[in-house]
């Protein structure tokens, strides 16, 4: 029988929550160590699952508590399966699955709220034991609360856009603090002299109306306002080729652009190429590591820095939180990933060696 949370609070700083975070940190460290030892550095295509960590089928379930071997968990990602951002997450999921004995089913929503709601409803009807879900919009609210009412624990990852009463239907969030991360990259570029007083910038993002875009942009503007700088938010879509073309056209039409802060991995991946095509050379930084190209651009001096939200943790930790909840009744707790994970020329080589399997 599933343990139900009835106090209506998320991630309260209780002794239990702190204990959960400590245990997760230890387990995550052990998992990463084992995974690195097994990693052969394959160059297989992102998203194929070819380099997913494995323990040769041996399940290392926890001792004591309830038997969770084979219990089914839905891990619902809101984008397409081809999105290379999730490669480290898939490895994290596989590591947690092997350690806990859970049966984790990874599904994709193809950036379609209706499809995600349908998959959530199917999991409820099939009586899944847990759900980890990235929540891009409040359109999932009713389905999230339906799962909660059915006694299925829900942990959010990467995005937590539920609003109102639906916030009480999700036990915890594992992911980046978007506003904090936006302020971080803008502040670092200001401190490094890349953005000057009164400068005007370009802030491209995949989906300008998405919650993550709004949060990151608000953080960026919070930092820019301290020096009277501005940045224009512009949507460029999720696909690299069209995004590069749109960014190139923007730069050609806005010769007064003093800097670029890319609010998503897609524009950050193509920013250097767009600047080169437009004949522009301005300071640029942004988010995510991409498939390694962003890091190579940093190493080459084409980008200043990027914020790593650490998708491995966003795969591993939600599954571990659900396992601890199902087995021991330990409440999931909010965990921030990558809030201060800035990658620049000082640490790019160390991080590049871990892409795309763990970073």
pLDDT in tens, 47-98: 333 333 334 444 445 788 999 999 999 999 999 998 889 999 999 999 999 9
The phi, psi pair for 337, rounded to 5°, reads -120, 125
Q: How many CB atoms lie within 10 A of CB 22?
A: 10
| Per-residue pLDDT at 95 | 97
| Per-residue pLDDT at 178 | 94
| Per-residue pLDDT at 142 | 98
Q: How many CB atoms lie within 10 A of CB 342?
A: 19
pTM above 0.85, yes or no: no
| Per-residue pLDDT at 48 | 35
Write the CB contacts of 264 (distance below 8 Å, at least 6 apart in sequence).
204, 205, 206, 207, 212, 213, 286, 287, 288
Residue 243: is its pLDDT beyond 90? Answer: yes
pLDDT tens digits along 321-359:
999 999 999 999 999 997 677 999 999 999 999 999 999
Strand bridging mode 305-307 / 342-343: antiparallel
Mean pLDDT value of segment 296-315: 97
Mean pLDDT value of segment 310-314: 96
Residue 26: is its pLDDT beyond 80? Answer: no
Residue 209: is its pLDDT beyond 60? Answer: yes
Which residues, in sequence order, are bridge partners of residue 306? 286, 343
DSSP 199-267: -EEEEEES-TTSHHHHHHHHHHHHHHGGGT-EEEEEE--S-HHHHHHHHHHHHHH-TT--EEE--SHHH
| Per-residue pLDDT at 290 | 87
* Distances, alpha carbon 163 to alpha carbons 139, 144, 238, in Å: 9, 11, 25
In the structure, what pLDDT confidence band is assigned to residue 11 with cuts at 50, 70 and 90? very low
What letter does residue 167 receive in the DSSP assignment?
G
| Per-residue pLDDT at 152 | 98
| Per-residue pLDDT at 32 | 43
| Per-residue pLDDT at 57 | 40
Mean pLDDT value of segment 247-258: 98
| Per-residue pLDDT at 20 | 46
Which residues, in sequence order, are bridge partners of residue 232? 202
Strands (DSSP E) contained in the chain are 72-77, 103-108, 130-135, 154-160, 172-175, 200-205, 230-235, 259-261, 284-287, 305-307, 335-336, 342-343
Residue 45: is its pLDDT beyond 50? Answer: no
| Per-residue pLDDT at 61 | 53
What letter does residue 49 receive in the DSSP assignment?
-
By C-alpha distance, which of 256, 287, 270, 267 is closest to 183? 287
| Per-residue pLDDT at 339 | 64
The phi, psi pair for 126, rounded to 5°, reads -90, 5
| Per-residue pLDDT at 338 | 76
Mean pLDDT value of segment 284-306: 96
What letter does residue 98 receive in the DSSP assignment?
H
Burial of 3 (0-12, 13-18, 19+ CB in 10 A): middle
In the structure, what pLDDT confidence band is assigned to residue 119 with cuts at 50, 70 and 90? very high
By C-alpha distance, which of 97, 94, 122 is closest to 109? 122
| Per-residue pLDDT at 312 | 97
Residue 39: is its pLDDT beyond 70? Answer: no
Mean pLDDT value of segment 160-187: 95
Residue 23: is its pLDDT beyond 60? Answer: no
Strand order across the beta sheet in which 335-336 lies: 103-108, 72-77, 130-135, 154-160, 172-175, 335-336
Instruction: Name the average pLDDT for the chain.
Output: 86
Assign 316 to helix, strand or coil. Answer: helix
């Amino acid at each position: 029988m599933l343990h139900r949370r009835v106090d209506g609070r998320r991630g309260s700083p209780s002794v239990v929550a702190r204990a959960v975070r400590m245990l997760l940190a230890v387990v995550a460290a052990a998992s990463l160590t084992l995974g690195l030892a097994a990693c052969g550095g394959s160059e297989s295509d992102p998203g194929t699952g070819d380099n997913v960590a494995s323990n040769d089928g041996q399940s290392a379930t926890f001792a004591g508590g309830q038997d969770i071997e084979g219990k089914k968990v839905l891990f619902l990602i809101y984008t397409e399966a081809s999105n290379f951002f999730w490669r480290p997450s898939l490895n994290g999921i596989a590591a947690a699955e092997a350690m806990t004995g859970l049966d984790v089913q990874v599904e994709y929503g193809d950036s379609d709220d209706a499809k995600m709601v349908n998959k959530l409803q199917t999991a409820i009807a099939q009586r899944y034991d847990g759900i980890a879900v990235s929540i891009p919009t409040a359109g999932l609210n009713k389905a999230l609360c339906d799962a909660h009412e059915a006694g299925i624990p829900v942990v959010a990852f990467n995005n937590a856009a539920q609003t109102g009463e639906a916030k009480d239907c999700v036990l915890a969030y594992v992911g980046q603090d978007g506003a904090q991360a936006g302020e971080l990259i803008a502040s670092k570029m200001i401190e490094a002299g890349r953005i000057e007083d009164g400068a005007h910038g370009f802030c491209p993002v995949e989906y300008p109306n998405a919650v993550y875009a709004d949060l990151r942009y608000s953080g960026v503007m919070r930092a820019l306002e301290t020096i009277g700088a501005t940045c224009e938010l512009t949507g460029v879509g999720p696909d690299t080729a069209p995004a590069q073309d749109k960014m190139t056209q923007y730069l050609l039409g806005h010769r007064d652009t003093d800097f670029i802060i890319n609010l998503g991995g897609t524009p950050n991946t193509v920013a250097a190429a767009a600047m080169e095509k437009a004949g522009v050379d301005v300071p640029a930084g942004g988010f995510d590591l991409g498939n390694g190209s962003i890091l190579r651009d940093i190493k080459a001096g084409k980008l200043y820095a990027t914020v790593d939200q650490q998708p491995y943790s966003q795969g591993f930790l939600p599954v571990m939180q659900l396992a601890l909840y199902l087995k021991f009744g330990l409440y999931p707790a909010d965990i921030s990933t990558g809030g201060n994970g800035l990658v620049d020329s000082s640490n790019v080589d160390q991080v590049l060696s871990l892409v795309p399997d763990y970073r």
